[in-house]
Amino acid sequence: MKRRLTDTWRAHLPLLRTSLIVLVLVSGISWMLAVAQARDGSARTLDPSDWQWAEASTYDEVAAPSSGWQPNRPNEKMPATNIWLRVPLPQGDPKDPYLQVKGIGSLRAFDGNNRIYSYLLNKKEWIVPVGQWKMVQLPLPQPPYIDLLVRLGNESVLRLEAAYGDKSGLVGSMLREDLDNLLIGVLLIFSGCIALGLYKSQRNQLYLYFSLLAVSGGYAALVQNDLQQAIIDVPALVYFQNVCLPIATFAFIGAMEQVFSGINARAIRLFRHTALTLSAFSIIGALTSITLYMWSILVFTPIFIVIFIAAYWTILVAYRQRRDLESIWIMAGFSSLAAITLIHIYRFIIYDRVPEQVQETTAWVLQLPKDLLFLGLFAFIVCLIRVIMYRYMAMNRQLTEFNRSLEQIVQTRTYELQERTEQLQRANERLAASMRENAEAIAESMIMEERHRITGSIHDTVGHTLSDTVVHMEEANKLIYADRGHAEEKLAASQELLRRGLEDIRQSVRLLREDAGHYDLPGAIGALIRETEQATGCHFERQLGPLPSQLSTLQKRLLFQTLQEGIATGLKSKKPARRFRLSVSFDQRDETVRLKLADDGRLTRADDWGIGMRALAEQADRLGGLLTAEATEEGNRLSLTIPASPGGASSWMI
C-alpha cells in the first residue's frame, strides 16, 4: 500500500511541480501589485457608516430637507427610489478638493442650497454607463459636508462609494488601484498580437484561438477600471465588457480542441458551437437592446458553468491518458484559474453570508487584489503560452531534423551525381576510344575496299589488254610470211593495246598513291576530267549543280570513285568511248544526291563492268543509296543515288 502511494506521488510529481511554479508566479505578482497599490494618503475613502440619509419625494427637489435624517447602515435596502445623502467631509485645507462618487447613475450635489453638480442618466439610450464614476468639484472654502441627491432604479441596497482628495491624488489613487488590470490587460493583448502573427505565418488554429482568448481577456481587464474613464470617457467601452465572456469561452474551448484533439471531441465541438452562438447573440443584443443584452448574459451563466465543468473533465482525461508536458501545464493552469475563480466568488458573493467566525478566519481574501479573476486568467494564459512554445520548439526540432536529413539526402545525391558524372566521363572516354578504333577500322576497311577495287580494275584492264595483245601477236606470227601487211596491222594493234594497258596501270598506281585529294570533291572531279581529256582526247559535257556542304567523306569518296570507275569502264569498252555526259545534282525535296554518267562506248556484255563496280555498288548500299549500270546500243549508262544530310548548298565550278 505504501509503495502504491509512493508510485502515485511520483506519477503526479510533474503536475505538482508545475502547479507550484504557477502558484509562486501568481503569489509574486499579487505581492508586487499589493506593494505598488499601497495608499499614500493623497486620497481618502469615506466611510458610509458616517453618512446620513433622508427620503426625497422627487428627484427634482432643489434643497435638502432640514429634518428627518437617519444614520446610514450599509448593505440595508432603501425604502425609496430617490434618496438624500449627507456626506461629512474631512477637515483640512486642500488646494483643489474633489469628491469622487462611484456606484450610482443619476446624481446631484448641493452645497447648502446651491447645486454644484448634476448628472441625469437617460435610460432610453441603449448604452448604459456601467461602472462610471462622477468627479464633483467642491467649493472653497470647503463646507463641513455635502448633500447628494441620488436616484435608484428600484428599492435596493445602496452601493455608493465616495473618495475625497485633490484631483491629482484621486487620479493617482485610481492608477494604483487599477495597476493590476492595466498590466495584465497590456500583457494579454500583447500576447494575443504575437499569437496572431504566428497564425498569419503558420496557419495553426491554436494560435488564432489563443489570440482571441488573450485579446478578449485583455480588453475586459483594461476597461474594468476607473482610470479608463479618466483617459477615454466613452461609456460604450465598458458597456461591451460582458461580450468578452462568451467570446473568451469560445476561444478557450477551441484551444482545448486543438491541444487535446480526439478527447471528448463531440462534446467539445458542441460546446464550441454553443459558445459561438451565444457570443453572436450577446453582440447583437449589445448593439440593439439593453434588455436583450442582459438576458443573453443571464442565459449564458448556467451554460458557462456546464462548459467549465466539461472543460475540466476533458483536461483531466487528457492528463490521465497522456501525462505529457501539454496536459500537465494545461491542468496546472486551469486548476489555478478554477481556484482563483472560486476565491473570487467567495469574496464577492458568499463572504457576507457566512458566520462571523468564518469571516474572521477567511479575512485574508479581502486583502487580495480586487480583480483577482484577471490574474487567474493571466496564469492560465502563461500555461497556454508554455504549451505553444513547446509545440513551436517541437516543430522547429522537426524542421531542423528535416533540414539535416535533407542536407544528407542532397549530399548523398551530389555524391551519386558525381559518381554518375565520373562514370559518364569514363564511358565517354571509352566511347571516344571506341569511335577512334571504329574510325581506324573503317579507314582500313575503306583502304582495303579501295585496294580491292583498284586491283580488280587492274586485273580487268591489264588482263583484258594482255589477252588481246597475245591474240594479236599470235595472229601476226601466223601471218608474217603469208600476209606481211596484215601481220603488221596486228602488231600495230598489239602495240596500241600495250600502250593503253601501260596507261591504265599508271592510272591505277596513281589512285593507290592518292589520299586526301579524294575528299576535295570539286577539285578531284575537275582534275580527273582534265587528265582524262588530255590523256585520251575524249570530250566531257558537264551539268554540275550545288551540292550539300555537309556531305560526309565516305559519300564524297563514293561519288568520286563511281565517276572514276565509270570513266575507266567507258574507256576500256570494245568500242572505247569518245564522248561523256556527266550530271551531278542535289534534290532538296527528298534530300538526295544523284550522279549520272553516259558515254558512247559499247561493252560486249554486262559482266564487263568488272569487280570494282560491284564493290562500289555494295558500298552504296551500306550508305543507303543505289548504284545501277547498264550497257545499251547507244552506249553505257551509270547512275548513283545517295541520301544527303540536310544543309546548305555550296556552288562550285569546275
String of DSSP letters for 76-111? PBPSSSEEEEEEE---S--SSEEEEEES-SEEEEEE
Tell me the pLDDT tens digit for each residue of 342-356: 887 777 767 777 787
- Which range (60-69, 130-139, 402-411, 603-612) has the least confidence? 603-612
Average pLDDT over residues 39-65: 83
**What is the residue-averaged pLDDT of the chain?**
78
More confident residue, 309 or 654: 309
Strand partners, 40: none
- pLDDT value at residue 648: 38
Instruction: Set out the domains of the chain in order of their start, with CATH numbers.
Output: 2-40+221-401 (no CATH), 44-176 (2.60.120), 518-654 (3.30.565.10)
Residue 568 has pLDDT above 60, yes or no: yes
Residue type, 50: D
Tell me the pLDDT tens digit for each residue of 493-511: 677 667 666 666 665 565 5
Distance CA 185, CA 231 (A): 15
Residue 574, CA distances (Å) to 28, 457, 569, 599 in order: 131, 16, 10, 13
DSSP 602: B
In the sheet that 114-119 helps form, which strands lie side by side, from edge to edge? Answer: 70-71, 52-55, 82-88, 145-151, 106-111, 114-119
Strand partners, 596: 583, 639
Structural contact between residues 580 and 538, judged by C-beta atoms closer than 8 angstroms: yes
Structural contact between residues 310 and 268, judged by C-beta atoms closer than 8 angstroms: yes
Tell me the pLDDT tens digit for each residue of 144-164: 889 999 888 777 777 788 888
- pLDDT value at residue 650: 40
Residue 515, CA distances (Å) to 510, 519, 527, 565 in order: 10, 8, 14, 17
Residue with cell 578504333: 437
Longest CA–CA span in the chain (Å) reads 196
Tell me the pLDDT tens digit for each residue of 367-376: 776 667 777 7
Residue 459 cell numbers, joined: 586485273
DSSP 607: G
Residue 262 has pLDDT above 80, yes or no: no
DSSP 552: -
- pLDDT value at residue 359: 78
Report H helices in 289-371: 290-322, 325-345, 356-361
Confidence of residue 85 (pLDDT cuts 50, 70, 90): very high
More confident residue, 216 or 334: 216
Average pLDDT over residues 590-612: 75
Q: What burial class does residue 504 get, using C-beta atoms within 10 Å of its C-beta: 0-12 exposed, 13-18 middle, 19+ buried?
A: buried
